């Protein structure tokens, strides 16, 4: 029965731990908690007047705030550390200058009978009074001095200050009492439904105590306290007054003083080291300020901060533009479709596209593992036969080849301290990589065994759990048969698989032994004067010692290299991990193209899959063993899938000292073999099709060319071949194709 409880458990993780929807730094720092992302979005589109309208609503007195605000938003901007903060002050000033209609909205609402008294005519009291007036409550303002504005009025041109007050109150009629000092707050409360005390710094607090049970609440029912009286600056005092109006209205409506606090915080974590530097816009006319074009340019510098490090570092989320929450939602409805016909499984390719590299988990401040979630989603689909078999069929067949005809356990004697486990892809890339490394090891440790097999990664990635478990048992038995030696790894992925699933088996990387025993005598000789870009494979991310040892080896060998972005603890996948090139070929191409553009230099890899993947894109690449043993230069092309199978057989025969016998059954040009390889079609598959067609006399013969076209189902796949029969000779293949589907009637 389908077990999808992981969906609920991960759903809870996203609700409680994911920081994707946390507010940006500027929003938290702003006393008004302005929606700055919305503002810069509108600025970027040139919608200056729309920004003004929102700014006016949020701050009450836009001209005043724009001039006296100390810009804590700029101080908190992450770009302050990389080029310069977004210039909110200049953007606000330009908005005020470029907006024509600055009158507030006139609210056509009936007057309310309730009344409110505001004690103190500074910004906090004025802000509270403005919002209550706009809701048509009867408001009285009591100010001890002969003018409104308090200390804020002295911070700017008084005429502009007074003009902004007049403009914002133009549709309202508060009852203003200047030169009026309130001495008895209890008496005032008897006259008014609610009272807001905002007498300013050093003002009379009437012996009121703040009640922690509600925002701005005092210990006297219906009386609230805030503003500079509580120790804030004028702008923050204004923000408090605006919010206090909601507390007063709550009391008017339901006689409760427990208005919730509107203070916000953020858990966003952003590292300036991963942010590209941008240069702040400079106004062409400093006195006039930003033009509309300059406003747009400066606004576009904004990162619209969110905790998006996983989206920036993970290829799947970045390229397909999916937030973790969106990935969760799409996976949920795919694993558990809501339609009666179960036809909502439309994200299977995306679920199968995770390379299981773990980068999302490594960069997440909360260590949320989207890779594990997608693997579990994959498992959920497998349990209901909803994951297309075609996505993994080739890779599982390749694993069968590597652990069957391509597998070998060989030891010079019955006892060994070390067993070389090169993995299934190193020898498939080139048998010399394995034989030369083994020769070097046996020079230092003559009893070193060879343990040729697959680590089981393809079965794990395909969520073939039963097959994977059986393979692990096989590996464990062979290791025990060898006397439980320490395995020597040349593939970071193999080491990762053993650490995860066979932790009882000790292991070491061959690079560590090389530094301890000494490099091969020929190390670096063929590459003198050349420089490479070093590429750390994704599986090395949890192996910092391996990464460091590789660099030490290159330095000892005198090889020049440079680091590329994405190395070290942020090492990226080359596109081979997870083996999703069949499930999502376009996405896989995008990933490898991005990787190859990281440097113009030839790549130096210590993962055979990485080297061959880059070479397959015509990117000059070498393997570390090319450097150490002088095997190939950087121009070697990637072996085809057919060549990889043959290389495994060559390796086994070389180790056993037997001659490899090749029987040519089908003539295939190198160009066609490469084309077939790109479709993950083996020449041996085409041979089987042609043999079947010839033996059974099937196929369609072209009148123009005489070529035969026909098909045959091999396991799950249906293969088509176009070939030229040669009487008494070897047929010539001219084309091939494979249906990753079952044909009815086969």
Answer yes or no: is 656 within a domain: no
Quickly state the pLDDT bin for 344 (edges 50, 70, 90). low
Burial call 186-198: b when 16+ CB within 10 Å, e when fewer: eebbeebbbbbbb
Give me the pLDDT at residue 545, please.
Answer: 97
Mean of the pLDDT values across residues 589-615? 97
Tokens 């977004």 belong to 86
Answer yes or no: is 663 within a domain: no
The verdict on 408 and 470 lying in the same domain is yes
Tokens 């773990």 belong to 358
From first CA to last CA, the distance across the chain in angstroms is 31
Answer yes or no: is 648 within a domain: no
Residue 282 contacts by C-beta under 8 Å, 6 or more apart in sequence? Answer: none
Answer yes or no: is 263 within a domain: no
Count of structural domains, the chain: 6
pLDDT tens digit string along 661-692?
A: 878 899 999 999 999 999 999 999 999 999 99
CA-to-CA distance for 359 and 607, rounded, in angstroms? 18
CA-to-CA distance for 653 and 429, rounded, in angstroms? 16
Tokens 């030696």 belong to 485
- CB of 48 within 8 A of CB of 91? no
Does the pLDDT value for residue 306 go beyond 50? yes
Does the pLDDT value for residue 358 go beyond 50? yes
Spatial CA neighbour of 40 closest among 28, 54, 29: 54
Average pLDDT, the chain: 94
Mean of the pLDDT values across residues 79-97? 96
* Own/partner long-range contacts of 200-206 (Cβ < 8 Å, ≥24 apart): 200/120, 200/122, 200/124, 200/150, 200/151, 200/227, 200/228, 200/229, 200/237, 201/151, 201/228, 201/229, 201/231, 203/120, 203/228, 203/229, 205/229
Ordered strands of the 194-197 beta sheet: 175-177, 138-142, 115-119, 194-197, 223-225
The verdict on 98 and 200 lying in the same domain is no
CA dihedral 606, 626, 426, 520 (to 10 degrees): -90
Q: Are strands 700-701 and 708-714 parallel, antiparallel or unpaired?
A: antiparallel
Q: Are strands 115-119 and 418-421 parallel, antiparallel or unpaired?
A: unpaired
Tell me, what CATH number does 603's domain have?
A: 3.40.50
pLDDT tens digit string along 240-293?
A: 999 999 999 999 999 999 999 988 999 988 888 878 899 999 999 999 999 999
Spatial CA neighbour of 602 closest among 625, 618, 579, 583: 618
Treating both helix axes as pointing N-terminal to C-terminal, what angle do 510-517 and 431-444 enclose, rounded to 10 degrees?
Answer: 40
Q: Which of 584, 612, 637 is the last residue of a domain?
A: 637
Does the pLDDT value for residue 127 go beyond 90? yes
Does the pLDDT value for residue 340 go beyond 80? no
Answer yes or no: is 107 within a domain: no
Mean of the pLDDT values across residues 293-322? 93
Q: How far is CA 150 from CA 103, 198, 449, 578, in A?
A: 23, 10, 87, 66
Does the pLDDT value for residue 560 go beyond 90? yes
Residue 56 contacts by C-beta under 8 Å, 6 or more apart in sequence? Answer: 62, 102, 104, 168
Does the pLDDT value for residue 3 go beyond 90? no
The verdict on 126 and 145 lying in the same domain is yes
Give me the pLDDT at residue 631, please.
Answer: 96
CA-to-CA distance for 630 and 626, rounded, in angstroms? 5
Answer yes or no: is 655 within a domain: no
Q: Which of 361, 386, 411 is the last residue of a domain?
A: 386
Q: How far is CA 406 from CA 423, 470, 660, 708, in A?
A: 10, 17, 13, 33
| Helix, strand, coil content of the chain in percent (nearest 5) | 45, 10, 45
Give me the pLDDT at residue 517, please.
Answer: 97
- CB of 453 within 8 A of CB of 405? no
Give me the pLDDT at residue 1, please.
Answer: 39
CA-to-CA distance for 625 and 674, rounded, in angstroms? 25
Give me the pLDDT at residue 191, please.
Answer: 97
Spatial CA neighbour of 404 closest among 716, 608, 656, 648: 648
The verdict on 128 and 248 lying in the same domain is yes
Mean of the pLDDT values across residues 547-571? 95
Q: What is the DSSP string of 105-161?
A: P----PPPS-EEEEE--BHHHHHHHHHHHHTT-EEEEE-SSSSSBGGGGGGS-HHHH
Q: Where are the beta strands (DSSP E) in 647-707?
A: 700-701
Two structure tokens written together for 373:
């979630």
The verdict on 421 and 322 lying in the same domain is no
Q: Are strands 408-410 and 115-119 parallel, antiparallel or unpaired?
A: unpaired
Ordered strands of the 531-535 beta sheet: 560-563, 531-535, 603-605, 621-623
CA dihedral 638, 642, 644, 650 (to 10 degrees): -130
The verdict on 405 and 507 lying in the same domain is yes
Tell me, what CATH number does 230's domain have?
A: 3.50.50.60
Give me the pLDDT at residue 341, please.
Answer: 53
Tokens 């992925």 belong to 493
Rounded to an integer, what is the distance from CA 405 to the centroid of its chain?
40
Answer yes or no: is 665 within a domain: no
The verdict on 507 and 532 lying in the same domain is no
Does the pLDDT value for residue 437 go beyond 90? yes
- Domain ranges, residue 689: 670-739
The verdict on 209 and 278 lying in the same domain is no
Give me the pLDDT at residue 342, please.
Answer: 56
Does the pLDDT value for residue 337 go beyond 90? no
Answer yes or no: is 245 within a domain: yes
Give me the pLDDT at residue 744, please.
Answer: 56
Number of H helices, E strands in the chain: 32, 18
The verdict on 238 and 125 lying in the same domain is yes
Quickly state the pLDDT bin for 743 (edges 50, 70, 90). low
Mean of the pLDDT values across residues 180-198? 97
Please name every residue paired with 735 in a beta bridge, in sequence order, or none if there are none: 722
The verdict on 446 and 378 lying in the same domain is no
Running DSSP on this structure, what letter comes out for residue 743?
A: P
Please report, rounded to a whole number, the percentage of residues in the chain having pLDDT higher than 70. 98
CA-to-CA distance for 96 and 700, rounded, in angstroms? 78
Q: Which of 517, 545, 567 is the last residue of a domain?
A: 517
Report CA Rg, the chain: 36
CA-to-CA distance for 196 and 209, rounded, in angstroms? 13
In a 3-state reduction of DSSP, which class is residue 468? helix
The verdict on 236 and 125 lying in the same domain is yes
Please state the pTM of the whole predicted model: 0.82
Q: Per residue, what are the HEC states of 307-352?
A: CCHHHHHCHHHHHCCCCHHHHHHHHHHHHCCCCCCCCCCCCHHHHC
The verdict on 552 and 506 lying in the same domain is no
- CB of 430 within 8 A of CB of 629? no
Does the pLDDT value for residue 745 go beyond 80? no
CA-to-CA distance for 46 and 297, rounded, in angstroms? 10
């Amino acid at each position: 029965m389908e077990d999808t409880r992981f969906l609920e458990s991960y759903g809870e993780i996203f609700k409680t731990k994911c920081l994707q929807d946390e507010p940006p730094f500027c929003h938290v720092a702003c006393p008004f908690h302005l929606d700055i992302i919305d503002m810069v979005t509108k600025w970027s589109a040139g919608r200056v007047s729309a920004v003004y309208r929102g700014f006016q609503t949020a701050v009450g007195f836009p001209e005043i705030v724009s001039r006296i605000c100390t810009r804590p938003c700029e101080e908190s901007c992450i770009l302050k550390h990389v080029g310069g903060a977004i210039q909110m002050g200049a953007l606000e000033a330009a908005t005020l200058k470029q907006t024509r209609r600055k009158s507030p909205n006139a609210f056509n609402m009936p007057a309310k009978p309730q009344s409110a008294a505001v004690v103190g005519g500074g910004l906090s009291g004025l802000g509270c009074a403005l919002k209550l007036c706009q809701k048509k409550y009867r408001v009285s303002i009591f100010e001890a001095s002969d003018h409104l504005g308090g200390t804020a009025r002295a911070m700017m041109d008084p005429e502009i200050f007074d003009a902004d007050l007049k403009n914002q109150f133009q549709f309202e009629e508060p009852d203003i009492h200047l030169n009026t000092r309130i001495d008895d707050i209890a008496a005032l409360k008897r006259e008014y439904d609610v009272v807001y005390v905002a007498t300013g710094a050093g003002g009379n607090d009437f012996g009121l105590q703040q009640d922690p049970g509600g925002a701005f609440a005092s210990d006297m029912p219906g009386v609230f306290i805030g503003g500079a009286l509580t120790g804030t600056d004028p702008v923050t005092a204004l923000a408090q007054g605006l919010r206090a109006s909601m507390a007063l209205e709550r009391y008017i409506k339901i006689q409760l003083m427990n208005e919730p606090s509107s203070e916000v915080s953020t858990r966003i974590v952003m590292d300036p080291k991963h942010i590209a530097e941008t240069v702040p816009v400079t106004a062409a006319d400093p006195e006039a300020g930003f033009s509309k074009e300059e406003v747009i340019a400066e606004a576009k510098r904004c990162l619209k901060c969110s905790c998006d490090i996983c989206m920036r570092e993970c290829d799947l989320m970045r390229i397909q533009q999916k937030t973790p929450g969106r990935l969760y939602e799409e996976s949920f409805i795919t694993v558990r479709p809501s339609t009666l016909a179960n036809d909502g499984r439309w994200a299977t390719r995306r679920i199968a596209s995770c390379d299981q590299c773990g980068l999302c988990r490594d960069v997440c401040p909360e260590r949320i593992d989207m890779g594990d979630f997608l693997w579990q989603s994959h498992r959920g689909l497998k349990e209901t036969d909803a994951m297309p078999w075609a996505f993994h069929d080739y890779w599982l067949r390749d694993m069968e080849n590597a652990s069957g005809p391509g597998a070998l356990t060989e030891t010079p004697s019955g006892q060994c301290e070390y067993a070389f486990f090169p993995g299934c892809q190193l020898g498939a890339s080139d048998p010399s990589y394995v034989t030369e490394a083994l020769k070097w090891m046996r020079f230092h440790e003559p009893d070193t065994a060879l343990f040729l097999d697959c680590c089981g990664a393809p079965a794990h990635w395909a969520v073939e759990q039963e097959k994977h478990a059986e393979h692990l048992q096989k590996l464990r038995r062979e290791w025990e048969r060898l006397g439980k030696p320490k395995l020597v790894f040349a593939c970071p992925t193999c080491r990762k698989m053993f650490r995860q699933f066979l932790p009882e088996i000790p292991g070491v990387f061959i690079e560590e032994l090389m530094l301890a025993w000494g490099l091969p005598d020929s190390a670096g000789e063929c590459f003198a004067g050349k420089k490479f870009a070093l590429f750390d494979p994704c599986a090395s991310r949890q192996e910092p010692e391996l990464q460091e040892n590789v660099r030490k080896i290159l330095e000892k060998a005198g090889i020049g290299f440079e680091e590329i972005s994405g190395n070290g603890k942020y090492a990226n996948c080359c596109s081979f991990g997870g083996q999703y090139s069949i499930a999502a070929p376009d996405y896989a191409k995008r990933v490898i193209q991005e990787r190859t553009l990281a440097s113009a230099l030839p790549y130096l890899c210590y993962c055979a899959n990485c080297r061959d993947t880059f070479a397959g894109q015509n990117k000059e690449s070498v393997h570390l063993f090319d450097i150490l043993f002088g095997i190939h230069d950087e121009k070697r092309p990637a072996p085809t899938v057919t060549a990889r199978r043959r290389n495994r057989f060559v390796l086994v025969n070389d180790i056993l000292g037997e001659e490899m016998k090749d029987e040519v059954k089908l003539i295939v040009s190198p160009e066609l073999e490469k084309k077939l390889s790109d479709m993950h079609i083996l020449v041996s598959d085409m041979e089987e099709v042609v043999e079947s067609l010839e033996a059974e006399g099937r196929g369609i013969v072209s009148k123009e060319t005489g070529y035969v076209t026909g098909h045959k189902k091999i396991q799950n796949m249906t293969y088509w071949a176009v070939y030229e029969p040669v009487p008494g000779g070897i047929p010539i293949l001219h084309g091939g194709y494979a249906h990753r589907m079952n044909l009815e009637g086969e």
